[in-house]
Chain A
Amino acid sequence: MSRMKIVWTGEGTYPYVTGGVSTWADILMHELKNIDFVLIPIQMHPYVKLKFNIPPNVVDIINVPLWGTEEPIEYIRKIKFSKIYEAKIKTQTDKNIEVLKPMIILVLDHIFRKREELDKLGDTLYEFYEYFHIYDYYETFRSEELWNIYKEYIIEHYQETEKELPTVFDMVEGLRYLYRFFIALLPTLPQAHIYHSSAAAFCGLSCIIAKKKFGSKFLLTEHGVYIREQYLAASRNQTPFRTKEFLLGLITLVSKLNFHFADIVSPVCDYNSRWEKKWGVDEKKIQTIYNGIDTNVFKQFPVEKDDDRPTVVMVARIDPLKDIETFIRTAHLVKKEIPNVLFKLYGPILDEKYYHHCQDLAEELGLEENFLFAGLTNNPQMAYNEGDVVMLTSISEAFPFVVIEAMACEKVVISSDVGGTKEVLEDFGFVIRPKDYQEFSDKVIYILQNPEIAIEMGRDAREFILNGFTTEDMVENYGRVYKTLYNEFLEEQKDVVYAK
Chain B
Amino acid sequence: MLFMPNKDLSSLYRDITKDRGKPLDFWEVTALLEVYGIRDIDAQKDYGFDDVFAMAKYMMQYTDIKNYPVKSLVNFEKVPAFRIRIFKNYFRGLAFAMPMFVQIFFTLSIGYAIWSGIDMDQMKATVIAVGTFLALIVTGASAQAIGRKGLFYLKQGEVILASNITRVLLNVGYVFVVIVGILLIFLNMFFEIFPTYYFFIMISFYFLLSLLFLNISIYYMFEEYNNILYFFILGIIFVYIAHTFFQVQLPEAQFLALIFLDAIISFLAYKKLRDLKKKDVKSEGEGLPRASILFYSLIPFYLYGFLYFLFLVTDRLVAWSANIESKPYFIWFNVPYELGLDWALIALVLLMGLTEISIHEFMYRINDTVMKYQYKMFNEFNKEIYTFFKKFNIAYAIFSIFVILLTYFVMYFINLHGNYEFTKDFFKSFTPAVYWTSAISYAFMVNGLMNILFIFSFSRQNFSVKAISIATIVNLLVGVILSRMFGLEFAVVGLLVGSVVFWTYSFIYTLQMLKKLEFYYYSSF
Q: Which residues in A have some Cβ–Cβ distance to B below 8 Å? A: 45-49, 65, 68-71, 74-75, 81, 84-85, 141-142, 144, 147-148, 151, 154-155, 158, 164-172, 175-176, 179, 227-228, 231-232, 234-241, 244-245, 248, 252, 278, 321, 323, 395-396, 416-418, 433-435
A-side contacts of B70, CB under 8 Å: 238-241
Contact pick for A171, options B19, B289, B378, CB 8 Å: B378
Chain A contacts of B290 at CB under 8 A? 74, 81
Q: Is the CB of B292 within 8 A of A81?
A: yes
B417 CB, nearest partner CB in chain A, Å: 57
Residue of B with least CB distance to A67? B156
Cβ–Cβ contact A168 & B36, under 8 A:
no
Is B373 a contact of A234 with CB atoms below 8 Å? no
> How large, as a class, is the contact surface on chain B?
35 or more
Query: Is the CB–CB distance between B375 and A237 below 8 Å?
Result: no
Selected from B42, B292, B375, the residue in CB contact (under 8 A) with A154 is B375
| Residue B376 interfacial (CB < 8 Å) | yes
List 19 additional A-B contacts (Cβ < 8 Å) besides A168-B371, A241-B21.
A45-B287, A47-B161, A47-B287, A48-B287, A69-B289, A70-B293, A85-B296, A155-B376, A158-B376, A165-B375, A168-B373, A172-B522, A228-B31, A232-B31, A240-B371, A241-B70, A278-B53, A395-B35, A434-B39
On chain B, the residues within 8 Å of A144 by CB distance are 516, 519
Tell me if B36 and A395 are in contact (CB < 8 A).
Answer: yes
Chain A to chain B contacts (Cβ below 8 Å), 26 pairs: A45-B287, A46-B287, A47-B286, A48-B284, A49-B284, A68-B156, A68-B158, A68-B287, A71-B296, A75-B287, A144-B516, A147-B519, A155-B376, A158-B375, A158-B376, A166-B374, A167-B375, A168-B518, A169-B73, A172-B518, A228-B27, A228-B34, A235-B17, A240-B70, A395-B34, A433-B37
Give bound CA distance, A170 to B145, whole Å: 33
Q: Does B327 contact A (CB under 8 A)?
A: no
Q: Give chain A nearest CB distance to B322 CB in angstroms.
A: 42
> Which residues of B in the span 125-178 have a Cβ within 8 Å of any Cβ on A?
152, 156, 158, 160-161
- Which residue of the partner chain, among B31, B35, B287, B370, contacts A172 with CB atoms under 8 Å? B370
B377 within 8 A of A: yes
Chain A's nearest CB lies how many Å from the CB of B457? 15
Residue-wise, chain B 506-525 has the 8 Å CB interface mask toward A (1 for contact) of 00000000001011011101
A151–B152 alpha-carbon span in the complex (Å): 29
Asked if A238 and B287 make an inter-chain contact with CB atoms under 8 angstroms apart, the answer reads no
CA distance A85 to B523 in the complex (A): 20
The answer to whether B374 and A167 touch across the interface, beta carbons within 8 angstroms, is yes
B5-25 to A contact mask, C-beta < 8 Å, 1/0: 000000000000101111110
- Chain A's closest residue to B517 (CB) is A168
A328 to nearest B CB, angstroms?
16
Task: Quote the shortest CB–CB distance from B523 to chain A (angstroms).
Answer: 5
Question: Which 4 A-B pairs have CB atoms at the shortest separation, nearest pair first?
Answer: A434-B37, A46-B287, A81-B292, A238-B71
Q: Does B285 contact A (CB under 8 A)?
A: yes
| Shortest Cβ distance from residue B156 to the other chain A in the assembled complex, whole angstroms | 6
Which residue in chain A gives the minimum CB-CB distance to B46?
Answer: A433
Question: Hey, which chain A residues are within 8 Å of B23, CB to CB?
Answer: 235
Q: How far is the CA of A85 from the CA of B34 in the complex (A)?
A: 50
Q: Which B residues are in CB contact (< 8 Å) with A68?
A: 156, 158, 287
Q: B24 touching A396 by the CB < 8 A rule?
A: no
- CB pair B156–A168 under 8 Å, yes or no, is no
Does any Cβ of A come within 8 Å of B429's Cβ? no
Q: Which residues of B contact A (CB under 8 A)?
A: 17, 19-24, 27-28, 30-32, 34-37, 39, 42, 53, 68-71, 73, 152, 156, 158, 160-161, 283-287, 289-290, 292-294, 296-297, 370-378, 381, 516, 518-519, 521-523, 525
Q: Which residues of B contact A71 (CB under 8 A)?
A: 289, 293, 296-297
Which chain A residues lie closer than 8 Å to B378 at the CB level?
151, 168, 171
A435 surroundings in chain B (CB, below 8 A) = 37
Shortest CB-to-CB span from B462 to chain A, Å, is 11
> B293 near A81 (CB under 8 angstroms)?
yes
Q: CB-CB < 8 A to B21: which residues of A?
A: 234-235, 237-241, 244
User: In the complex the two chains form, what is the Cα distance from A164 to B71 in whole Å?
Assistant: 15
Alpha-carbon gap, A155 to B297, bound state (A) = 34
CB distance from A292 to the nearest CB of B (A): 26
The smallest beta-carbon distance between B150 and chain A, in angstroms, is: 14
Identity of the chain B residue whose Cβ is nearest the Cβ of A230 in the assembled complex: B31
CA gap between A248 and B28 in the complex, in Å: 10
**Which chain B residue has the least Cβ–Cβ distance from A175?**
B522
Given the interface pairs A81-B292, A236-B20, A240-B71, the reply to whether A49 lies near B31 with Cβ below 8 Å is no
For A142, the closest partner residue in chain B by CB is B523
Chain B residues with CB under 8 Å of A45's CB are: 156, 158, 287
A396 touches B374 (CB 8 A): no
| Inter-subunit contact B374/A70 (CB<8 Å) | no
| Chain B nearest CB, measured from A163 CB (Å) | 9
User: What's the minimum C-beta distance from A149 to chain B, rounded to whole angstroms?
Assistant: 12
- Whether B522 contacts A235 by the Cβ 8 Å rule is no
B287 near A232 with CB under 8 A, answer no
Of chain B, the residue at the smallest CB distance from A82 is B292
Residues of A within 8 A of B34 (CB): 228, 395-396, 418
Knowing A48-B286, A81-B290, A240-B371 are in contact, say whether A235-B32 is a contact too (CB < 8 A). yes
> Which residues of A lie under 8 Å from residue B160 when comparing CB positions?
47
Report A363 CB to chain B, min CB distance, Å: 24
Q: Which residues of A contact B296 (CB under 8 A)?
A: 71, 81, 85
A144 to chain B: closest residue by CB: B519
Nearest chain B CB to A137 CB, angstrom units: 12
